[in-house]
Structures are given as structure tokens and as C-alpha cells.
Amino acid sequence: MGPVERVWVYLSATPLLWLAATLLAYEMGSWIFRCAGGSPLANPVPIAVAILIALLHATGTPYETYFEGAQFVHFLLGPATVALAVPLYQNRVQVRQALVPMLTALVAGSATAILSAVALARWLGASSETLKSMAPKSATTPIAMAISEQIGGLPSLTAAFVIATGIVGAVLVTPLLDALRIRDWRGRGFSAGVAAHGLGTARAFQVNELAGTFAGIGLALNGVATAILVPILLGWLR
């Protein structure tokens, strides 16, 4: 065994390599994001994901091996979600004032997310498994996967759709809301959280703390709304 192979044998057995690679890819994504003048089209997450998938392909590394390292980053999603309570608390007065607009927008947005995805994909000839897996795509991953399982979709495919939705939402939310001339940070953030869960929320926090707070509420509320609405709406569409 040559020295290069020895190094590779060591690296492929430790979580260190892919944990470091995840952080490095994100740093590269952030660097490109800054070079692009903070353009939402250069979101660091899809850039990092593309770099890492290319690397894993090039080295013939399976996702499971990658995840052994990356799980330490992934694990922090839980405590970070709990941490959303802090901006929620700090902005509680504004949140209470906006309760009625939020709940109305939630019902409209949640139903739109489910119906438009399923109707469009069906019209374009997607398979039944794909449709069912796509229905809860705007909810946060654990809720979406549970719903998918309940209605006969594929939970892991749902997770892929949820992430793809989040990436799409994070990229298009700023230009789209600018085009619609919506300037209220509360409505902007809330729509990002409802449509694009945690990734929309992360994007909202990049722009404005109040928007991020409302996005966090949108994320939490739409998890519940999607769990209630998907079984009802899919029954209608049949």
C-alpha cells in the first residue's frame, strides 16, 4: 500500500474528512455568495450541496459514509429549531399583533402549497408515488416524512423534495417578493417559512431578524397545517 492509499484508508474510516468537507464546501458557497454581491441566486446551500455531491461522486463515496461525518452538523438542526424561540420571544409583541393576518395567510398558503404541487405534477405525468411523496413538500422534514408515510408515499423521497423546495424557496423568495412590491418584513418572512420551511427561515434570517422570526412561526404553523390538510386535500383530488 502506497502512502496515498494509506492516507485514504485512514480518512475514509473517520468522520473527520466529511465533516471538514461539509464546512469547507459551505465556506466556499458563502465566499461565492459574497463575490456575487449577496445575490439570492448564489445561495451558499445549493452551492455547497453541489460541491459535495461532485466530490462524493468523484471519490466513489456512498452517502452513508458521508453522513457519518456530516451527522454532527445535521444534529444541530434540532437545537437550532428550539433556538427559534429566542427571536420569537424578543418579537412577541409584533407577533401577537399579526395573529389574524398570519393565520389567514397560513391556511391559504398551506393549501396552495399542497394543491399546486400535486395538480401540476399529475398534469405533467409524474408517477403516483412521486405525487404522494410531493404533497407535504413545504412542511419541515420530520413532519413531511411522517405525512408521506401515512398517505403511502416514500418518506426518503419526500425528504429530497422538502430540501429541493427549501432551496428553490430560499433562492426565489427575495426577487419574487420584490417584484410583488411586498415590503412588510413580517409578511415576507412568514411566506418564506410557510413555503420553504427551515431553508426559507434561514434565508429570512440572512436578510432581516424580524423576517426570520416570522419565518420561524410560518415553519412551525405550516408543519401542523400540512399534517391536517394533506389527507383532506388528497381525498378531494382523487
Residues 55-94 interacting with another protein (rule: CB under 8 A): 56-57, 63, 66-67, 70-71, 73-74, 76-89, 92
Please report, to the nearest 10 degrees, the dihedral formed by the alpha carbons of residues 66, 32, 75, 7 taken in order: 30
- Among 11, 28, 32, 157, indicate the residue that binds another protein (CB under 8 A): 157
76 contacts: CB under 8 Å, gap ≥ 6: none
| Residue 26 and residue 49 in contact, taking contact as beta carbons nearer than 8 Å | no
**58 exposure class (CB count in 10 Å sphere: 0-12, 13-18, 19+):** exposed
Residue 24 lies near another protein (rule: CB under 8 A): no
| CA–CA gap between residue 209 and residue 79 (Å, rounded) | 18
| CA–CA gap between residue 56 and residue 68 (Å, rounded) | 13
Residue 173 lies near another protein (rule: CB under 8 A): yes
Of 1-9, 34-42, 217-225, which segment contacts another protein by CB under 8 A? 217-225
Residue 45 lies near another protein (rule: CB under 8 A): yes
Residue 153 lies near another protein (rule: CB under 8 A): no
Q: Which is nearer to another protein, 17 or 109 (CB)?
A: 109
Residues 117-146 interacting with another protein (rule: CB under 8 A): 117-118, 120-121, 124-127, 130, 134, 137-138, 140-143, 146
